[in-house]
């Protein structure tokens, strides 16, 4: 039971430490929109989203004002479009039509992003999956609010290396089509291993086929709150540090639980999960890197960084699980480079490189996120980076992801500007040695031995 006293306790967190509800995301099933006529399918999709989500923004604003908790984003996720569009789409251009319908619906209801332009191909690809994947560059470059994702691996099935290799090409094509905006189209595209069906955060959110007709999922974030708490136990033992983070995460998640329950009741939509993920913003003081450095690491990327991040991620999950009836999504710590001002600083001074980021993804909640790389990086190298990240997720039975941005025309030492919550990023160098002989083999990397549980 959540009461008003618990909300009042968060006042200083909101005022001084950047606590916010990062997103209220409404998941909407589009399975009943399937229609062999493409015009009819697009019309049904538009009509259902605009009907179900018509009050999402206003209700989010009302709750934010009433309880004094900033609700930064209101978003929608939908059933993976490769499934919904399979009956009507015969060419990539047909899927682009659906993307345009999604974008139009998102604009109508006033949300900032809509996720689910997605394909789940971790074991193999249907014809519809291939068409959707081929359509991604045009779809993301011609729309403003549509976000896409492709799942290419899982612990149960292994890694679909055919899909990984294709995604190297798709990311490069998307970068080229949006090169006039520092290749920002790639910021709306995630490649996943083990993606959850209820993730409320973009760009990787989609409404899984096992989810209900509609659902409300809430993502809460408070890096500044955690940093303040950690600063109060400087020099204390690891036991004290862990307990402090866990207790802070508990309080933050309780605020998210309240917002989720209120949004569910007012919208008449079932409550799904609270995702407590320490997601940074470009604002000073709202940084994961700052927490790591407050723990005693001179600069994020220095020795000890991965251990510090492991502590943070685990204690956040432990505190969140105790605070909410249903904790889901990704829940933990995000390390998007461009969205974290102190991560940017660490990359600029050479403390943080892609290889260290990859090591950190073994213990955090996502992967190589919002990493800007040279615009001349080959599709094979991009595929190799993706394969490495997918292997970490597969073997460790966790979600990992890649949101790589080859910024056309830029090289290491340059900067890319994405704007808003996406921030800016230094161009990080990648290995000059190739991997084409590996990623071009084709086929599927088998699932690890510990996946055989039945």
The predicted-structure confidence for 291-343, as pLDDT tens digits, reads as follows: 999 999 999 999 999 999 999 988 988 888 877 778 777 777 788 888 888 88
In this prediction, residue 9 has a pLDDT band, given cuts at 50, 70 and 90, of low
Beta bridge partners of 160: 444
Q: What is the pLDDT of residue 2?
A: 47
Q: What sections of 325-378 are H helices per DSSP? A: 341-348, 354-360
278 near 331, Cβ under 8 Å?
no
Distance (Å, rounded) from C-alpha 188 to C-alpha 165? 19
- Quote the pLDDT of residue 1: 47
**Is 60 exceeded by the pLDDT of residue 147?**
yes
Domains and CATH numbers, the chain: 23-193 (3.20.70.20), 218-439 (3.20.70.20)
Preceding peptide of 203 cis, ω within 30°: yes
Please determine, for residue 6, whether its predicted confidence score (pLDDT) is greater than 80: no
Average pLDDT value for residue range 133-156: 96
Alpha-carbon distance of 118 to 100, in angstroms, equals 14
Instruction: Give the Cα separation of 430 and 428 in Å (integer).
Output: 7
Burial of 232: CB neighbours in 10 Å, binned 0-12, 13-18, 19+ = exposed
Distance CA 386, CA 384 (A): 5
User: Is 80 exceeded by the pLDDT of residue 129?
Assistant: yes
Closest CA to 115 of 178, 195, 173: 195
Contact present, 61 and 24 (Cβ < 8 Å): no
**239 dihedral zone (left: phi>0; alpha: psi -120 to 50; beta):** alpha
Confidence of residue 427 (pLDDT cuts 50, 70, 90): very high
Distance CA 447, CA 159 (A): 7
For the segment 401-416, the average pLDDT, to the nearest whole number, is: 93
Q: Which of 169, 220, 196 is nearest to 404 (CA)?
A: 169
Q: Burial letters for 3-38: b for 16+ Cβ neighbours within 10 Å, e otherwise?
A: eeeebeebeebbeebbbbbbbbbbbbbbeebbbeeb
- How far are the Cα atoms of 103, 387, 438 from residue 40, in angstroms, in the given order? 17, 38, 44
What b/e string do you get for 131-159 counting C-beta neighbours within 10 Å, with b at 16 or more? Answer: bbbbbbbbbbbebebbbbbbbbbbbebbb
- The Cα 266–Cα 55 span in angstroms is 9
Tokens at 431, concatenated: 């290995």
Task: Evaluate whether 252 touches 279 at the Cβ level (below 8 Å).
Answer: no
Burial of residue 292 (number of CB atoms within 10 Å: 0-12, 13-18, 19+): buried
Least confident among 44-58, 64-78, 321-335, 373-387: 321-335
On whether the CB atoms of residues 157 and 119 are closer than 8 A, the answer is no
């Amino acid at each position: 039971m959540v009461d008003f006293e618990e909300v009042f306790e968060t006042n200083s967190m909101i005022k001084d430490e950047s606590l916010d509800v990062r997103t209220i995301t409404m998941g909407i099933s589009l399975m009943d929109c399937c229609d062999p006529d493409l015009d009819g399918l697009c019309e049904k999709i538009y009509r259902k989203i605009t009907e179900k989500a018509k009050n999402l923004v206003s209700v989010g604003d009302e709750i934010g004002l009433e309880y004094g908790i900033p609700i930064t984003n209101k978003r929608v996720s939908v059933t993976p479009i490769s499934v919904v569009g399979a009956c009507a789409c015969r060419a990539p251009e047909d899927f682009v039509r659906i993307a345009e319908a999604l974008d139009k619906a998102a604009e109508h209801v006033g949300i900032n992003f809509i996720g689910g332009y997605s394909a789940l191909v971790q074991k193999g690809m249907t014809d519809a999956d291939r068409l959707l994947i081929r359509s991604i560059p045009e779809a993301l470059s011609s729309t403003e609010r549509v976000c896409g994702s492709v799942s290419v691996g899982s612990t149960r099935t292994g890694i679909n290396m055919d899909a990984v290799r294709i995604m190297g090409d798709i990311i490069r094509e998307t970068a080229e089509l949006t090169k006039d905006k520092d290749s920002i189209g790639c910021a709306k595209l995630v490649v996943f291993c083990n993606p959850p069906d209820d993730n409320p955060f973009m760009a990787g959110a989609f409404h899984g086929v096992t989810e209900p007709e509609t659902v409300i999922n809430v993502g809460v974030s408070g890096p500044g709150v955690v940093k303040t708490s950690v600063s109060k136990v400087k020099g204390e033992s690891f036991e004290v540090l862990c307990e402090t983070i866990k207790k802070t995460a508990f309080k933050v998640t309780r605020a998210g639980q309240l917002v989720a329950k209120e949004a569910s009741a007012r919208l008449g939509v079932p409550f799904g999960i609270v995702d407590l993920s320490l997601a940074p913003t470009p604002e000073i003081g709202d940084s994961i890197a700052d927490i790591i450095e407050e723990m005693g690491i001179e600069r994020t990327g220095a020795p000890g960084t991965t251990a510090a991040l492991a502590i943070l991620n685990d204690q956040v999950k432990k505190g969140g699980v105790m605070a909410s009836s249903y904790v889901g999504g990704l829940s933990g710590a995000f390390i998007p480079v461009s969205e974290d001002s102190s991560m940017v600083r660490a990359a600029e001074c050479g403390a943080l490189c892609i290889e260290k980021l990859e090591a950190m993804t073994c213990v955090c909640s996502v992967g190589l996120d919002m990493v800007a790389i040279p615009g001349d990086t080959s599709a094979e190298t991009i595929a190799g980076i993706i394969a490495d990240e997918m292997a970490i997720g597969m073997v460790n039975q966790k979600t990992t992801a890649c949101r790589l941005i080859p910024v056309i025309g830029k090289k290491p030492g340059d900067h890319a500007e994405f704007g808003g919550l996406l921030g800016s990023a230094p161009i990080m160098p990648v290995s000059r040695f190739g991997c084409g002989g590996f990623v071009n083999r084709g086929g599927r990397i088998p699932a690890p031995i510990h996946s055989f549980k039945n």
